[in-house]
Structure 1
Amino acid sequence: MKTTIIQTSLHWENREKNIAHFDNLISSIKERTNLIILPEMFTTGFSMNPEKVSEPSNGGTLKWLKQKAKEKNCVITGSVAVEEKGNYYNRLFWVNESGEYKTYDKRHLFRMAKEDTHYTAGSKKLIAKINDWNICPLVCYDLRFPVWSRNRFDLKGESRQSAVGSEQSGVGSWEYDVLIYVANWPEVRNYPWKQLLIARAIENQCYVIGVNRIGKDGNDFSHSGDSVVINPRGEIISVTKANEESIETVFLDKNYLEEFRTIFPVGLDSDFFELK
């Protein structure tokens, strides 16, 4: 699977300028790709003025995403401030080339910026598919919560003790193969951003993709981007540089992932748990 990450600055609380900017960036992608990933709140920046910047869930941005997904014949994802039934959500859209879409509402709202007082938290994870890949897209602050991000290993009725070699025989399976975080993560905390992304890849035995913005926002916070693609061993396989606008397409190898899971089957020893 080919995935394209777009790292760029955002126009503060200006949907029209951001849509025009991303329209140009996406149109410039000539290489065939299966997935294009945009940052968190890519139409406005990380604004705590939802009354001003939000739009209906089925508004103009969704229509634009459908248009671009059809044009590029791929999935496009990123989050947007939306209003629905009197509540505001930091909502990620997952839009495919046929116009079908799924959504994920950010679960962990960043209280240090009072996001929790302006937006409503989601309660359900999204597992999306591209061909034979299962993909879990999350949003920014979700990265700090490993239980919510956790990749479940299903033994399909087998006991852990009797399931040795189960991954080779197909008895067990992981919930997802790729974990995505779209973000507006400030440069002042870029060290935990980089370390936690690597940790999520290793502990969940999956590819991890972090797509973050660059530049200053309307609150004068600087963002260095540090967008990255990481393999299940925790190794960085992308070349995007900090503080630079970039469009990079990275190949994810399913055979590599499955081989690693087979020779190092940590899923067999993972813990059972339930989220409430």
Structure 2
Amino acid sequence: MQEALKIALIQSDLVWENPEQNQQNFTKKINAVAEKVDIIVLPEMFTSGFTMNAKAVAETMEGTTVSWMLDLAKTKQAAIAGSMVVIENDNYYNRFLFAEPSGKLFYYDKRHTFTLAGEHKVYKAGNKKIIIDYRGWKICPLICYDLRFPVWARNTEDYDVLLYVANWPKPRINAWDTLLKARAIENMSYCIGVNRIGVDGVNAEYNGSSACYDVLGKKITNMPLNQDAVEIVALSKNHIRKYRNALKFLDDRDAFNLLT
């Protein structure tokens, strides 16, 4: 078990509906991460931006992007994480992929599709929450709109890290900032959110505000707004143990099961 986990947050603009160009851009950004890290996190729909034109950008799990992620993970000896549009059994999914250096691949399908943008009409919602055990750390991957629903993120598994990827627009960025902090506090876990910047193909504007909060809700990153940026954050198992043992808030969780 590793006592520390280093995560690189990559906040970036995205080229609208152009997987090949986004792949090239992120290859450069990932290769430029000189420090040894355990995980490299990209935004939601990092190959395309938050598009409802799924047919134009969808790939299978045997497609070029998944292979690219696995190859880079092996080269960098770090997991590569982010979401993309996947087609499977004639359904489209907004799928979070977690590619490990070992060649293992985990995925989570976005549970809460964003009805305001009509995501529910294009993408099939997932119904399975997953916990990834990676280098002795338990990680819960979630996507964008999931952030607004605390019951789905509820820490019944004693996970260590909540990991959100997003295309969260600038007009509602205060909610993003507030909810990331709240999820960290209520679940006594690290909470990370990686958001994009720039303007997408439907003129939605994004300013980033990517961040990591510790188990007490303290912000431990300093990502700039409206800029391509990479920040590496070091997480500590001892920090989690110290405050969970001292405060024991998770012991007082309400007991119930979520029916999906």
Supply the AA of the counterpart residue of 1:214. Answer: I
Structure 2 gaps, min length 5: none
Q: 1:22 aligns with which of 15, 26, 46?
A: 26
Q: 5 Å matches for 1:4-83? A: 4-83=8-87
| TM value normalised by structure 2 | 0.97
Mapped partners of 1:116, 1:268: distance in 2: 36
Question: Which residue identity lines up with residue 65 of structure 2 in the other structure?
Answer: T
* Structure-2 separation of matches of 1:69 and 1:53: 22
Match for residue 148 of structure 1?
A: 152
Indicate yes or no: 2:251 matched with 1:268.
yes
Structure 1 length as normaliser, TM-score?
A: 0.91
Q: What secondary structure sits across from 2:97 in the alignment?
A: strand
1:138 aligns with one of 139, 142, 145: 142
Structure 1: how far apart are the matches of 2:245 and 2:79?
29
Tell me what 1:120 maps to.
Answer: 124
Equivalent residue letter for 1:20: Q
Superposition pairs of residues 163-174 of structure 1, within 5 angstroms:
174=157
Q: What CA RMSD, in Å, does the superposition of the two structures yield over aligned residues?
A: 0.7
Give the aligned partner of residue 181 of structure 2.
198
Equivalent residues in 2 for 1:215-230 (5 A)? 215-230=198-213
1:17-68 Cα deviation digits (max 9, x unpaired): 1000000000001000001100000000000001111111221100000011
Counterpart amino acid of residue 256 in structure 2: F
Cα distance in 1 for residues equivalent to 2:78 and 2:61: 21
The one-letter amino acid paired with 1:179 is: L
Please state whether the residue corresponding to 2:74 is helix, strand or coil. helix
Does residue 184 (structure 1) correspond to residue 184 (structure 2)? The answer is no
SS in 1 for 2:138: strand
Amino acid at match of 2:175: P
Deviation of 1:131 after TM superposition, in Å, equals 1.6
* 2:225 counterpart SS class: coil
Instruction: Give me the whole-angstrom Cα distance separating, in 2, the residues matched to 1:22 and 1:247.
Output: 11
The separation in 2 between residues aligned to 1:118 and 1:177, in whole angstroms, is: 32
Distance 2:18 2:147 in 1: 26
Q: Deviations over 1:200-239 (max 9, x none)?
A: 0000000000000000000011100000010000000011
Between the two proteins, the alignment pairs up a number of residues equal to: 255
Give the CA deviation at 1:142: 0.2
AA aligned to 1:185 is W
SS at 1:103 equivalent: strand
Structure 1 moving runs of 4+ over 3 Å: none
| 2:111 alignment partner, one of 104, 107, 113 | 107
**Cα distance in 2 for residues equivalent to 1:261 and 1:175:** 10
User: CA offset at residue 175 of structure 1?
Assistant: 2.5
Map Cα deviations across residues 162-210 of structure 1 (whole Å, 9 max, x no partner): xxxxxxxxxxxx5200001000000010000000000000000000000
Equivalent in the alignment of 1:88: 92
Q: Does 1:248 align with 2:231?
A: yes
Over alpha carbons, which structure has the higher Rg?
1
SS of the counterpart of 2:172? helix
Q: Which of 223, 230, 234 is the matching residue for 2:217? A: 234
Q: Which amino acid aligns with 2:152?
A: W
